[in-house]
């Protein structure tokens, strides 16, 4: 970071963000490829206008003659919203500041603090920008301090504002719902406002907080944005009639109003942004950022266990003996961790009861969690279990003892989802209960893994605990983070996996506590190709929990070969959830091979540099490759998703390989594929999409099931 001639130049290894102090207005004048130090940047801004729809700054507020969406909106004693934040100066320091009560990235190199004061009052706004050199990411934070002698209301405080030149951007968002999370949409933007947001108390499967702006003709390059937050979020892209694009990223101001007493501060969650030459570059930057600066603790950058989860094998309907029969086969297949999903606690045999009673159902588990875990460990596997600790059933011991723990509005019958109410995490007593009861359960069986689920959204927002309803959404998330902070610190060995009706809370906030997240309840290979491609735009493979399941698939009744199912699930953190006792010998043999292959290559599969080869969203086939850091080996998967009988003449190739290395290419041993002779070629040729792979994608008469997709996995390594 440098400061000269009024410019603040914030550099990562390959990018520069340049700000300019124009008599108290801090202008944003450049964000793109790295520029030389010492240049005179006046050509970038000297003719810029500073009012109305044309100013480019780092924080806009109502009252500045800027009528676009504001970065900050504060109501002064209920009397006015007019504020002008004047730049006072900056301070550069190593590392980054701690954000109290909120998760944030770690390991930042250097931070600049930008200080603003309201022109006529003592409201202070501080913004932080921290650089991460290794991944060309900048993290941004903001905090507002009320140094006046009266309370004010913070109606909006965003985390990041980026004003860009030009309007020729394509916006990429990742939207969906249960079983179709994070499907990528491209939006051509026109003059006006595009909002991506969540209002349901979680980051949600409806709209993920990760967005991209691909500058097409006039602008060039690509920008990625995300928010380290698990509650309501809002990403605003506003195209002004004066050829400017404004991006705002932060907490949603929907039903939000934070009363800030004199002497108090309010801090927004951290946002992150990256600039790269194209979408692939930004994806790589985000992957590196998440692996290096979001995931923490013992499991960061470490291989993850291959799990068996009993959910799709048994649902609620399991016995102790059935679990052991499954464990016997899991051990034989080489699995490493046995996960007991929903239905093990209270008197739970269905969705309608016992949420909150986190102690073993003795009818199903006569020797408790401890007895089962001991049997699992005898078989050489670790043990873990499922919980949904933010919920309570009306039919539960907890609710009977403490109805006041539930979030419900007096005088209104609550909206129930899955027969659940939410617990009031704003209440410290509730938080203590959850930490204690879960600690006991974890300690009782020495669990090494917890699947933390969240199966309903917030509707009955109300708190008897003092805070206004307009603060509740955020205070809930703060309460959740306080619980997660305590539990993850108390049990550093335990691998936590996030889950929310599938992947409805897949965000950087949860990833600060949980190194991996259940991607979707939809494990069907073809649908998963789309879900995983969308997820991988902003999040690395190491975070993406992906299981193989039975056919016909339980979600959509489609069938596909066991090889296809492995090839797709192996793109993430691999595991199984199916009734092994119903599987035939051929399938079990295939799965044993799969586990062996996955374990042999899991570091490459989960941490290799991911490149998209072909997008499922734009053609007949999808493809991806993961390449080791030294580019000596890679694994590529090509998936024909609209398979044709009598397969036509397609040309394929890879990407990301070193042109100066000669590689040997072989196909993973797949039972259902025609002849493929391993071959040797230089990386330059392999990186071109020119190879004819014969009839290996032809499914005519070949696949066991009537298949509509055909996937093939290639192992590529430096030829000796
Ligand atoms: C959610 C999860 C599933 C499973 C069930 C259990 O739907 O996404 O994986 O754990 O809950 O009720």
Ligand 1 centre to CA of 457 (Å) is 14
What per-residue confidence (pLDDT) applies to 552? 94
238 lines ligand 1 (CB under 6 A): no
Of 180, 341, 352, best ligand 1 pocket probe by most atoms within 8 Å of the beta carbon = 341
Ligand 1 centre to CA of 341 (Å) is 8
> Which positions are catalytic?
453, 521
Ligand 1 centre to CA of 528 (Å) is 17
- Let me know if 548 is exposed, middle or buried by CB neighbors in 10 A (0-12, 13-18, 19+): buried
Give the pair of three-digit tokens for residue 313.
Answer: 């094998």
What are φ and ψ of residue 322, in 5° steps?
-65, -40
455 lines ligand 1 (CB under 6 A): yes
Does the pLDDT value for residue 465 go beyond 80?
A: no
Ligand 1 centre to CA of 649 (Å) is 42
- Let me know if 644 is exposed, middle or buried by CB neighbors in 10 A (0-12, 13-18, 19+): middle
Strand pairing category for 15-22 and 7-11: antiparallel
Cα 628–chain centre separation = 22
Strand pairing category for 137-146 and 233-239: unpaired
Q: How large is the average pLDDT for residues 430-459?
A: 98
How many angstroms separate the first and last alpha carbons of the chain? Answer: 44
Q: How large is the average pLDDT for residues 193-213?
A: 98
497 lines ligand 1 (CB under 6 A): no
What per-residue confidence (pLDDT) applies to 673? 76
Cα separation of 526 and 529, whole Å?
Answer: 5
What per-residue confidence (pLDDT) applies to 706? 58
Q: How large is the average pLDDT for residues 357-378?
A: 98
Q: How much of the chain, in percent, has pLDDT values that exceed 70?
A: 98
Cα separation of 229 and 140, whole Å?
Answer: 13
The overall average pLDDT reported for the chain is: 95
Ligand 1 centre to CA of 568 (Å) is 20
Secondary structure letter of residue 500 according to DSSP: B
290 lines ligand 1 (CB under 6 A): no
User: Contact 258/470 with Cβ under 8 angstroms?
Assistant: yes
Residues 6+ apart with CB under 8 A from 663: 634, 657, 680, 681, 682, 683, 686, 716, 717, 718, 719
Q: Could you identify the atom of ligand 1 that is nearest to the CA of residue 502?
A: 8
Which helix (H) or strand (E) segment holds residue 604: the answer is helix 585-607
- pLDDT tens per residue across span 661-671: 999 999 998 87
Residue 658's pLDDT band, with cuts at 50, 70 and 90, is: very high
Cα separation of 323 and 340, whole Å?
Answer: 9
What per-residue confidence (pLDDT) applies to 694? 80
- Let me know if 134 is exposed, middle or buried by CB neighbors in 10 A (0-12, 13-18, 19+): middle
What per-residue confidence (pLDDT) applies to 178? 98
Cα separation of 513 and 490, whole Å?
Answer: 12
Task: Output the CA torsion sign for 37, 43, 49, 54.
Answer: negative
- pLDDT tens per residue across span 103-128: 999 999 999 999 999 999 999 999 99
Secondary structure letter of residue 542 according to DSSP: G
Does the pLDDT value for residue 702 go beyond 60?
A: no
Q: Which residue has the tokens 């109410």?
A: 421
DSSP-based three-state secondary structure for 395: coil
Q: Could you identify the atom of ligand 1 that is nearest to the CA of residue 351?
A: 12
pTM value?
Answer: 0.97
Residue nearest to atom 1 of ligand 1 (CA): 501
What per-residue confidence (pLDDT) applies to 218? 60
499 lines ligand 1 (CB under 6 A): yes
Q: What angle do CA 656, 661, 662 make, to 5 degrees?
A: 110
Which helix (H) or strand (E) segment holds residue 664: the answer is strand 662-667
Cα separation of 599 and 605, whole Å?
Answer: 10
Neighbours of 488 (CB within 10 A): 17
Residue 9's pLDDT band, with cuts at 50, 70 and 90, is: very high
User: Contact 668/697 with Cβ under 8 angstroms?
Assistant: no
501 lines ligand 1 (CB under 6 A): yes
DSSP-based three-state secondary structure for 49: coil
Of 310, 311, 498, best ligand 1 pocket probe by most atoms within 8 Å of the beta carbon = 311
More confident residue, 254 or 689: 254
What per-residue confidence (pLDDT) applies to 697? 81
Which helix (H) or strand (E) segment holds residue 330: the answer is helix 320-333
Q: What is the largest CA-CA distance in the chain?
A: 80
- Cα–Cα nearest to 471, from 267, 265, 257, 264: 257
Does the pLDDT value for residue 302 go beyond 70?
A: yes
Ligand 1 centre to CA of 502 (Å) is 6
Give the pair of three-digit tokens for residue 332.
Answer: 């034989």
What per-residue confidence (pLDDT) applies to 458? 95
Would you mind telling me the total number of residues written for the chain in this entry?
720
Q: How large is the average pLDDT for residues 480-497?
A: 98
Residue 217's pLDDT band, with cuts at 50, 70 and 90, is: low
Task: Go through 177-194 and write b for each residue having 16 or more CB atoms within 10 A of its CB, e for each that does not.
Answer: ebbbbbbbeeeebeeeee
What per-residue confidence (pLDDT) applies to 700? 63
Give the pair of three-digit tokens for residue 237.
Answer: 């892209």
Q: Which long-range contacts (CB under 8 A, 24 or more apart) does 62-71 make?
A: 68/238, 68/240, 68/246, 69/193, 69/236, 69/238, 69/246, 69/248, 70/156, 71/142, 71/156, 71/157, 71/158, 71/161, 71/248
Does the pLDDT value for residue 201 go beyond 80?
A: yes
Of 351, 391, 516, 521, best ligand 1 pocket probe by most atoms within 8 Å of the beta carbon = 521
- Let me know if 646 is exposed, middle or buried by CB neighbors in 10 A (0-12, 13-18, 19+): exposed
Ligand 1 centre to CA of 386 (Å) is 9
Least confident of 129-143, 290-304, 454-468, 537-551: 454-468
Cα separation of 354 and 350, whole Å?
Answer: 9
500 lines ligand 1 (CB under 6 A): no
577 lines ligand 1 (CB under 6 A): no
What per-residue confidence (pLDDT) applies to 463? 77
342 lines ligand 1 (CB under 6 A): yes
Q: What's the alpha-carbon Rg for the chain, to the nearest Å? A: 26
522 lines ligand 1 (CB under 6 A): no
Count of CA atoms in the C-beta half-sphere (13 A) of 265: 13
């Amino acid at each position: 970071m440098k400061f000269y001639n009024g410019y603040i130049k914030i550099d990562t290894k390959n990018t520069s963000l340049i700000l300019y102090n124009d008599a108290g207005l801090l202008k944003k004048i450049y964000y793109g490829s790295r520029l030389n130090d010492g240049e005179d940047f006046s050509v970038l801004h000297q003719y810029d206008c500073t009012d109305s729809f044309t100013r480019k700054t780092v924080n806009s507020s109502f009252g500045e003659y800027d009528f676009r969406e504001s970065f900050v909106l504060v109501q002064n004693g209920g009397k006015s919203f007019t504020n002008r934040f004047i730049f006072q100066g900056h301070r550069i320091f190593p590392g980054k500041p701690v954000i109290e009560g909120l998760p944030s990235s770690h390991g930042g190199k250097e931070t600049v603090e930008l200080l603003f004061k309201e022109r006529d009052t003592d409201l202070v706004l501080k913004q932080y920008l921290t650089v991460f050199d290794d991944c060309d990411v900048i993290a941004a934070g903001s905090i507002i301090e009320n140094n006046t002698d009266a309370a004010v209301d913070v109606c909006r405080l965003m985390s990041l504002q980026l004003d860009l030149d030009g309007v020729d951007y394509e916006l990429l968002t990742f939207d969906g719902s249960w079983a179709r999370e994070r499907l990528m949409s491209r939006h051509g933007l026109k003059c006006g406002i595009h909002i991506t947001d969540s209002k349901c108390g979680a980051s949600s499967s409806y709209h993920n907080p990760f967005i991209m702006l691909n500058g097409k003709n006039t602008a060039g390059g690509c920008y990625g944005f995300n928010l380290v937050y698990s509650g309501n979020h809002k990403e605003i892209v506003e195209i002004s009639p004066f050829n400017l694009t404004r991006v705002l990223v932060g907490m949603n101001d929907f039903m939000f109003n934070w009363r800030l007493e004199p002497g108090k501060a309010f801090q927004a969650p951290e946002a992150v942004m990256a600039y790269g030459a194209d979408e692939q570059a930004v994806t790589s930057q985000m992957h590196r950022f998440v692996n290096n600066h979001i995931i923490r603790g013992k499991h960061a950058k470490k291989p993850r266990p291959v799990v068996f989860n009993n959910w799709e094998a048994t649902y609620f309907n399991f016995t102790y003996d059935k679990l052991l029969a499954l464990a016997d086969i899991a051990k034989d297949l080489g699995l490493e961790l046995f996960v007991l999903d929903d239905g093990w606690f209270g008197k739970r045999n269905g969705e309608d009861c016992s949420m909150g009673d986190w102690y073993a159902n003795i009818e199903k588990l006569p020797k408790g969690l401890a007895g089962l875990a001991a049997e699992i460990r005898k078989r050489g596997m670790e043990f873990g279990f499922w919980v949904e600790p933010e919920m309570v059933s009306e039919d539960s011991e907890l609710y009977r003892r403490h109805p006041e723990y539930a979030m419900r509005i007096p005088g209104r019958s609550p909206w129930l989802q899955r027969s659940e109410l939410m617990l009031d995490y704003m209440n410290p007593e509730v938080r203590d209960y959850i930490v204690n009861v879960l600690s006991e359960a974890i300690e009782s069986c020495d669990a090494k893994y917890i699947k933390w689920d969240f199966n309903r959204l917030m509707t009955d927002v109300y708190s008897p605990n003092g805070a206004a309803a307009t603060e509740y959404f955020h205070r809930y998330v703060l309460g959740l983070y306080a619980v997660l902070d305590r539990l993850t610190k108390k049990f550093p060995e335990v691998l936590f996996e996030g889950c929310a009706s599938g992947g409805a809370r897949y965000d950087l906030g949860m990833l600060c506590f949980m190194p991996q997240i259940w991607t979707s309840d939809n494990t069907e290979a073809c649908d998963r190709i789309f879900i995983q491609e969308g997820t991988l735009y902003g999040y690395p493979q190491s975070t993406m929990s992906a299981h193989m399941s039975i056919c016909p698939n339980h979600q959509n009744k489609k069938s596909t070969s066991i090889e296809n199912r492995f090839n797709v699930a192996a793109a993430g953190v691999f595991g199984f959830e199916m009734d092994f006792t119903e599987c035939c010998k051929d399938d079990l043999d295939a799965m044993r091979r799969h586990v062996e292959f996955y374990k042999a290559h899991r570091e490459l599969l989960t941490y290799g540099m991911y490149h998209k080869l072909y997008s499922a969203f734009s053609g007949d086939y999808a493809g991806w490759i993961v390449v080791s850091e030294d580019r000596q080996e890679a694994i590529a998967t090509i998936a024909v998703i609209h398979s044709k009988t009598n397969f036509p003449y397609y040309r394929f190739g890879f990407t990301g390989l070193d042109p100066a290395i000669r590689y040997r290419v072989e196909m993973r041993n797949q039972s259902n594929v025609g002849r493929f002779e391993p071959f040797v070629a230089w990386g330059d040729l392999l990186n071109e999409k020119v190879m004819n792979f014969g009839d290996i994608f032809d499914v005519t008469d070949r696949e066991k099931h009537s298949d509509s997709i055909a996937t093939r996995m290639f192992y590529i390594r430096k030829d000796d």
